[in-house]
Structure 1
């Protein structure tokens, strides 16, 4: 891997909470600010990334947060739920709830490297399936996940207030893990 491609996935712990909060709010709002009506973005940021929620989730072993770092700078984050309540199958599964990278770092392959590492970590836990939901009109994100082996599973709908109605359609995508083989992080 070339030095300019260097990316590190760093597990977040309680002492990182304020830095996590900043990275979460900053990366999410830069990508999705135009998806909200009225003051929906501000309400969502507080609901999802408020100190109380982040502390509770960081204390819950079912959740894992990771900083996505480039040259020791946090440029994004990922959130994994290792005990999903969604019964997609009888297989042990994890949900990739969130993965966001600051827009100025998109298109550099960092997302692919980060997600590949997350998939490998989930696989090491003995999970057999990873699923995620993506806005159905976000064709770039869908193509990105498909390149990593995710497949369409079903349609669903985002039911949160103040999110633009035309963007509430979601696709649920799944990746069945091969227990014998790990994904390569290089291109």
Structure 2
């Protein structure tokens, strides 16, 4: 098993093409590597155990392989300068709770490694997600974000998402002060 080389910051900055590459269950080990790197870059502070429990619950190749096989789930690697710098998980047919009549897509996960943030990668990826939603004739994209992730919430707002609800996580090893989430939506 080989690992992807770290992407030099100057390569990200000069990258002309940010690609959202669809992947299937056979890419689970590669997605697991990038998922763990990106998650650890941003979220270890949420956990008493530094995120080990959550990573084991969500980002092992076995767990990802099973989740990627679900017919409603779509996974994408985020490539900058042809190197993986993050991943996206979409649920193609997932109504926003309380808005079941709308044809909605859930952006369940968008994780980008710290070295790729602030380089326009997120903006390019978000536009591609919007394009995917439109191709599937969706009228709404929705997501959940940690209410303590002010940068992420600001990013979503800049991309047209508005606050529409809250959620609370019950994970046993998560620090109580970080269990709140906001629900945001973008109408298309």
- Give the TM-score, by structure 1 length: 0.87
2:77–2:87 contact (8 Å) kept in structure 1: yes
Q: Tell me if structure 1 keeps the 8 A contact 2:144–2:184.
A: yes
Which residue does the alignment assign to 1:136?
A: 147
Q: By how many angstroms is 1:34 displaced?
A: 1.4
Distance 1:162 1:116 in 2: 35
The equivalent residue for 1:76 is: 86
Match of 1:93 in 2: 104
Matches within 5 A, 1:11-30: 11-30=22-41
1:112 pairs with 2:103 = no
Provide Cα deviations, 1:37-89, integer angstroms capped at 9, x if missing partner. Answer: 0x361111111112332112221120011100011100000111123265331
Ranges in structure 1 where 5+ consecutive residues have no aligned partner: 178-187
Quote the offset at 1:109 in angstroms: 0.9
Partner of 1:56: 66
TM-score (normalised: structure 2): 0.87
Structure 2 segments unaligned to the other structure (5+ residues): 1-12
Write the deviation string for residues 109-131 of structure 1: whole angstroms up to 9, x where unpaired: 10011011011101210111111
Contact 1:40 1:163 in 2 (8 A): no
Query: Which runs of 4 or more aligned residues in structure 1 lie more than 4 Å from their structure 2 counterparts after TM superposition?
Result: none
State the distance in 1 between where 2:57 and 2:103 align: 28
Q: CA deviation at 1:22?
A: 0.7
Determine whether 1:45 maps to 2:55.
yes
Between Structure 1 and Structure 2, how many residues are aligned? 175
Classify the secondary structure of the residue corresponding to 2:184: strand
CA contact (8 A) 1:67 1:78 kept: yes
Q: CA RMSD in A?
A: 1.6
